[in-house]
A and B are shown apart, each in its own frame.
Chain A
């Protein structure tokens, strides 16, 4: 093989974590060995009581290998190391603490101790187990601050102190104060509900799919949005990276989880991206839509690190990063993610980019600016190439247009994509996520479980 050719990277940590038991007989035996059983509940906003996270999504993403090499709820020493150096105890880089938190009341009711096996039910059905290796207490507020950094400690990229307007900060602030640490194992694999089922490509399956399609190089497009034509051009043009030829595949990986009010519903997001290939704007042989279960923390450079880990685990060779990647507000520098992937951020434990540090990532960043409409060129144009005055495309502007019932011109949103938005608008009675959507979604979740 030519030395110029890029090969599919190994999973982060060297091997895929897979902690899912498919054999029901084995699963029943394991379930019987549990010392106590706990029904998973959504994490509720510490002030408003609205759901902000469900730990089941973390368990799914850990056990199916999206977060390899993480295998469970982190021990105290590991959380401290992640917060200080963004590394796990086995040295591999990782951005966020992932923990199974529980209230004092629940801990007392369960009466579990280190060495016990806790059975976890979801929607009343057996789902997973947690083998308890450590029980400790946290201060959720301190955890929230330390997770995202602050302007004094991380002056390179953090611009303002985090607060309750930041949804990721709220997630950690809303954690319960006791942590059960240990490995998770799914013993009753949930079934993804339509339309999510056809987009479920956990790392082993996505790697097999890439192999089947002959995709040696694959660039990932992170999304939590319905695609406008600017996104479509971003995908098409970013894919011209690669090695001796453009990337063979474009993987759209949508983050499915608790949403912010005003975002599009997850159902519309995945089907709208699918419409891009279904109607030939990018041919389906080159474009695949997939999902990952995760309640976004909006940690800009830190979130990009997690995205890099997830997509490397899925088998991608490249990852596109834009301005304000996975950001909300002005907590971070607009280019914090691109700074991380080109120079590193020493105060977050990266004196060099995450691809250039020991136990780092192999996936290659493709830092992109933006596409907007150029009335002179009469086409979508790249900000760093086109020399004319362009009309910026903004997702928020489009949302406003949609809400007012104005169909966006096809030059900025494909009519088939708009139809998907209206399809789910008719279904939910609302084009975007509202409180009712968030509450129902967290009640019903994206999955169903069978009896064990």
Chain B
């Protein structure tokens, strides 16, 4: 199975990837309502992610999910920095594992909710 991680793109993220050459890799899902990029993850990197984060899972599509939000934010930063969707992106994220875990420890206590009327 091929593994990957999904980077969701909202308007502000779209601005940041402008000119990186990644625009042509944008995928659209759900009738065009969702824009995203898919970052390649090797078997070895997948195992490392699962070992580092207890909540991480591989879903039925082969997507690695349920990693801390801090991980996902850094994943996007690395995509922009490396202008790539290859395995070096996740390698770059894992190089900052200590920092991410520190932030993840805080975010396991609190995540700011979206400001919508409920």
Interface of A with B (CB < 8 Å)? 261-262, 323-324, 373, 375, 378, 391-392, 394-397, 399-401, 403-412, 419-420, 422-423, 425-426, 429-431, 434-436
Contact = CB atoms under 8 A, between A and B. Distances in A.
A404 B7 CA distance: 10
Interface of B: 6, 8, 10, 29-31, 33-34, 54-55, 57, 59-61, 63, 65-67, 69, 72, 108-114, 116-118
Contacts of B57: 262, 396
21 contacts: A261-B54, A262-B55, A394-B60, A394-B65, A396-B57, A396-B59, A396-B63, A396-B66, A397-B6, A397-B59, A397-B63, A403-B72, A404-B72, A406-B8, A411-B30, A419-B117, A422-B118, A425-B114, A426-B113, A430-B109, A434-B108
A223 to B, nearest CB: 17
A392 B60 contact: yes
B30 A262 contact: no
A275 to B, nearest CB: 11
Contacts of B61: 392, 394, 397
B69 A422 contact: no
A411 B34 CA distance: 10
A382 to B, nearest CB: 15
Contacts of A411: 30-31, 33
B30 A409 contact: yes
In the complex, the 9 A-B pairs of residues with the closest C-beta atoms, listed nearest first: A409-B33, A396-B65, A394-B59, A423-B118, A425-B113, A262-B55, A396-B59, A429-B110, A426-B113
Contact of A400 (B29, B65, B112, B114): B65
B33 A430 contact: no
Given A412-B30, A425-B114, 7 more contacts: A392-B60, A400-B66, A400-B72, A403-B69, A404-B8, A420-B118, A431-B111
A435 B113 contact: no
Contacts of A408: 34
Contacts of B66: 262, 396, 399-400
Nearest to A393: B30
B116 A407 contact: yes
Most buried by A among B30, B33, B109: B30
A233 to B, nearest CB: 14
A113 B111 CA distance: 51
Given A262-B55, A394-B60, A419-B116, A375 B108 contact: no
Nearest to A412: B30
